[in-house]
Amino acid sequence: MLLRQTLRLVVLVFLVASPSVAQVRDPFKPAPKGYELYSWPDSKGGWNFCILYGTNREKVTEEVFSEKTLLRGLDQLKREIRDLPAGAQVFWVSRIPSGTGPRAKGSESLTYPPQNIRDEVIACAKKHHIHIDVEVIDKTL
């Protein structure tokens, strides 16, 4: 009887402590489709950002420029990147829609920051095991 209880306790501790068990994904929860990163200059010479869940539909300007999702400056963006799950895929886009069609009305300010800022963001992401793809649509980059 004591041996059986000890064995159950060992198995329970093993299951709780096992990292593979802790990372089992809920099969009923949809897998994330990655994230979308948007950027635009602010009126003071800095940069604003927004990270949204990737979906099968195109975003609207109200989502991207919402005060609820607004990240002011690099520090806020880096904090948000650090909070993403390791292995996350982020698509940095410069337009709504993200395809090759015309920009959505109201999204004309979306653009990429200078290369040194992009490099800093990508380095931060890499450090936290986040992959950022910059969708180069604008050939002037």
**Is the whole model's pTM more than 0.85, yes or no?**
no
In a domain, 3, yes or no: no
In a domain, 21, yes or no: no
pLDDT score for 67: 95
How far, in Å, CA of 92 to CA of 39, rounded?
8
pLDDT score for 24: 41
**What is the SS3 assignment for 4?**
helix
In a domain, 140, yes or no: no
Number of domains composing the chain: 1
SS3 for 36-59, per residue? EEEEEECCCCCEEEEEEECCCCCC
Handedness of CA 102, 112, 56, 51 (dihedral sign): negative
pLDDT of residue 17 exceeding 80, the answer is: no
pLDDT digits (tens, 9 = 90+) for 27-85: 444 445 699 999 999 999 999 999 999 988 888 889 999 999 999 999 999 999 999 99
How far, in Å, CA of 120 to CA of 78, rounded?
9
Average pLDDT over residues 1-11: 52
In a domain, 115, yes or no: yes
In a domain, 19, yes or no: no
pLDDT score for 56: 81
Using only C-alpha atoms, the chain has a radius of gyration, in whole angstroms, of 21
In a domain, 10, yes or no: no
In a domain, 69, yes or no: yes
Amino acid, single-letter form, for residue 37 = L
pLDDT score for 100: 60
In a domain, 129, yes or no: yes
Q: Judging by DSSP bridges, how do beta strands 71-72 and 89-92 pair with one another?
A: unpaired
Domain, as residue range, for 50: 31-134
pLDDT digits (tens, 9 = 90+) for 74-104: 999 999 999 999 999 999 998 887 556 667 7
